[in-house]
Amino acid sequence: MQLRDITRTPGRFRRLSQILQVLVRHGFGHLVYRLKLHEHLPIGRRFLEKHVPEDVPLPARTVRVLQELGPLYVKLGQFLSTRPDIVPEEFISEFCKLQREVKPFDPRLARATIEAELKSPINKLFAEFQDKPLACGSIAQVHAARLKDLTEVVVKVKRPGIEEVVWSDLDLLSLIAERAERIEELKFFCPTMLVEEFYRLINNEMDFVSEASNTAKFYNLYARDPNVVIPRVYWDLSTSSVLTLQRMKHTSAGDLALLEATGVDKKKLATTLLRNFIEQYFKAGLFHADPHPGNLMVTREGQLCMIDFGQVGHISDDLKGQLTTALLALLQKDMDLYIEVFTDLGAIPEDGKLEALRLALRETIEKFMGIPIKRIDPRRAFFDMMKVARDYHLILPRDFVLLGKSFTTVTSMARQLDPDLDLQVMVAPFARSFFIESLSRERISRLAREGSWHLSNLLSHGPREARQLLKKLLTGKMQVSLRHVELDNFAYELDRSSNRLALSIILAATVISSSLVMMAKVGPTWQDMPLIGILGYLFATIMGIWLAIGIFRSGRL
């Protein structure tokens, strides 16, 4: 959406102005001016509160802005915490403090939403429904309930009207991201790409069918594993706005004292936790991307329970192969192979810094090579690698970064449960197994079949398309479309300047005409003065003041 479209919509114009005022209030006034959005601030805010708050670090001020702007921006901060390859570590630490809990909405609205979505009275759907929510989020809240057979479930209900609020704010975020791309210091953060990723994330979270599908996939994946429990999805009680899941009685996997008190075998739990996530990475190609202690639980029987599949990562065969090769290279201390795999994952800069990148990766990895596996801090190693990616402007695949964060989180939890857990013993068999499988006759045959199809398709359609292209070129019908990234803004500014010039001419003509009428004293009068002349002066005065305010607000006197 263009800026002129947003500013012509009163609700969005007010929201944009509110966002800009919050930025100015927290010391980001200079950013508002560099984004060329200051003209949408109230006049009184132009020269006030442009100072930077004392003794408040930049990351903390950023978190305050997100918290003040509302739940969607809190979720934006949580999303940014998953991109340590782009966002510096000090910001990641602050973003991780953002809380998801928000004020609950009226349970009567929740009941109305359930009845409208499931097309039945709530007392016919559930034997019991608790109005007090178990948890509240920016998009939905969760209620406890019982089915007619007394099975305990949780019902996730979308907030009424949340779609309009979310899409409106996302339009404004897209606008700000497009402006930020033009600022050299912000270009590296890839604001447009991040907003597009955030849009896809929110789009998935807004559709509960997507979360239900992910939950069902994991339920089927672990259906025969006695050590892992996944909530069951009740499809007949679920829609895009209502999600009904089996309720699990559990304890947080991070509550070590309670696990000890209940007699849970922590060593066995640590092995189960790490083994199952490694299987997700190397076998399933689908992994839980948000495995914090609130989403990893332990049942009374000591089983691992995974919940909340709103964020799921996917690993393609290519990414899986690169991951396997990288792990084997680390285990065998083959630094050159590891560096090659790592550089293949990102966009290598074309500015001649490839050798410097290789050296930085080698220095970072070799810091950990002489340390026993059990003494290495996976989180520290991961963030050090991400710092190299930031320093050399490598934008890694999002699923690869999510995998790294997921693995470091799970590894840290497993080590808390069992400090003697040997990562190498756990990971190496899976990596070798996948490596051998990737060289199997079946996989090579499948790749050959896929390659032959692409080749035959190229041979079949290539000559015809090349002939059509050459024909257009020879007849002069070849068309090339060019789009200048700054041209839209230039056209908008030119259009606005033309309108102001036209209005100035009209006002000048109005003043001259009114003066002639006043001198001629024609038409109806008021207190011996021509009424038409008075109205002309009044119109010119009001429009002149309005024009002056617009010019003053633009900051271009």
For the chain, 557 residues long, the average pLDDT of each consecutive 10-residue run is 57 81 84 79 57 72 86 84 82 76 82 93 92 86 92 92 83 85 78 85 86 92 90 93 88 79 84 87 83 83 86 80 70 67 62 70 74 70 78 76 83 83 72 65 67 72 77 75 59 68 81 79 73 80 76 59
CA 436 to chain centre: 36
pLDDT at 262: 81
Q: Point out which residues pair with 287 in neighbouring strands.
A: 313
Residues annotated as catalytic (active site), given as ranges: 290
Alpha-carbon distance of 209 to 201, in angstroms, equals 14
- Cα–Cα distance for residue pair 245/238, rounded to 1 Å: 9
Residue 215 has a pLDDT of 92
Alpha-carbon span 171 to 1, nearest angstrom? 6
Residues 6+ apart with CB under 8 A from 79: 194, 197, 198, 201
Can you tell me the distance from the alpha carbon of 195 to that of 340, in angstroms, rounded to the nearest whole number?
A: 30
Q: Which pair of structure tokens corresponds to residue 181? A: 């791309």
Name every residue whose Cβ is closer than 8 Å to that of residue 295 and which is 6 or more positions away in sequence: 288, 306, 307, 308
Alpha-carbon span 130 to 118, nearest angstrom: 17
For residue 326, the tally of other CB atoms under 10 A from its CB is 20
User: CA-CA distance, 549 to 136, in Å (whole number)?
Assistant: 44
CA–CA gap between residue 385 and residue 342 (Å, rounded): 10
- The Cα 41–Cα 37 span in angstroms is 8
Place of tokens 């192979």: 337
Neighbours of 495 (CB within 10 A): 11
